[in-house]
């Protein structure tokens, strides 16, 4: 187990970055939430929320598969942009209210999943991946919670500051 990490710290940091994202979104009105440009040329803040939600749901599926002892195939870095484009196309026409509701549900599911994981599941170096690349589940969860919330909150704040 990583000495500086435990499940409590993971939850605290994930919740803190989620709160940062929520404070960022609170600075915007409905029109700004659907205005393209918050992330790249075409994504609005609404699209960012749908994007985060979709990746959280992917992460939940991966973790559940790992818990069942199944091998998972994470996308290669070179595939992520295309996957993000596909996710965008699937959700771009959803309403802001629907996207917010799905985002809130997904976040609650993600927190419940983290709470359900044991320290062994989170911190074992043999949780996912193959051979020498086996990694602790902590990294998969961090990428799809704390890191993702922070990355997009900062991008949205930079966009707002430049307006």
Determine the Cα–Cα distance for residues 15 and 17; give it in Å rounded to an integer: 6
Is-contact 48 88, C-beta < 8 A? no
In a domain? residue 1? no
Stated pTM of the model: 0.92
As for how many domains the chain has, the answer is 1
More confident: 31 or 124: 31
Is 12 domain-assigned?
yes
- In order of 14, 25, 47, 98, 138, the CA distances from 19 in angstroms are 9, 10, 18, 20, 20
How confident is the model over 62-76, as a mean pLDDT?
86
pLDDT band for 1, please (50, 70, 90 cuts).
very low
CATH number for the domain harbouring residue 97: 1.20.120.450
Per residue in 73-115, pLDDT (tens digit) is 888 889 999 999 999 999 999 999 999 999 999 999 999 999 9
Q: Is residue 29 part of a domain?
A: no
Count of all residues that appear for the chain in the document: 163
Confidence of residue 4 (pLDDT cuts 50, 70, 90): confident
96 lies in some domain: yes
How would you write the chain as a 3-class SS string? CCCCCCHHHHHHHHHHHHHHHHHHHHCCCHHHHCCCCCECCCECHHHHHHHHHHHHHHHHHHHHHHHCCCCCCCCCHHHHHHHHHHHHHHHCCCCHHHHHHHHHHHHHHHHHHHHHCCHHHHHCCCCECCHHHCECHHHHHHHCCHHHHHHHHHHHHHHHHHC
Whether residue 100 lies inside any domain: the answer is yes
Q: Per the domain annotation, does 2 fall within a domain?
A: no
Instruction: Tell whether 66 is covered by a domain.
Output: yes
Q: Which domain holds residue 154?
A: 7-24+36-162
Q: Within a domain: residue 70?
A: yes
Among 6-20, 56-70, 117-131, 140-154, whose mean pLDDT is lowest? 117-131
């Amino acid at each position: 187990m990583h000495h500086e990490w435990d499940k409590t710290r993971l939850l605290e940091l994930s919740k803190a970055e989620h709160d940062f994202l929520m404070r960022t979104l609170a600075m915007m009105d409905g029109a700004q939430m659907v205005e393209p440009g918050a992330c790249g040329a075409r994504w609005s803040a609404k699209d960012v929320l749908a994007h985060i939600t979709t990746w959280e749901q992917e992460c939940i599926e991966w973790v559940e598969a790992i818990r069942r002892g199944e091998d998972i195939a994470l996308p290669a870095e070179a595939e992520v942009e295309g996957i993000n484009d596909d996710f965008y196309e699937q959700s771009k026409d959803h309403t802001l209210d629907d996207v917010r509701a799905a985002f809130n549900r997904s976040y609650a599911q993600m927190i419940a999943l983290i709470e359900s994981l044991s320290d062994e599941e989170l911190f074992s170096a043999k949780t996912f991946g193959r051979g020498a690349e086996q990694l602790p589940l902590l990294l998969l969860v961090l990428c799809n919670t704390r890191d993702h919330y922070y990355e997009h909150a900062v991008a949205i704040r930079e966009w707002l500051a430049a307006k």
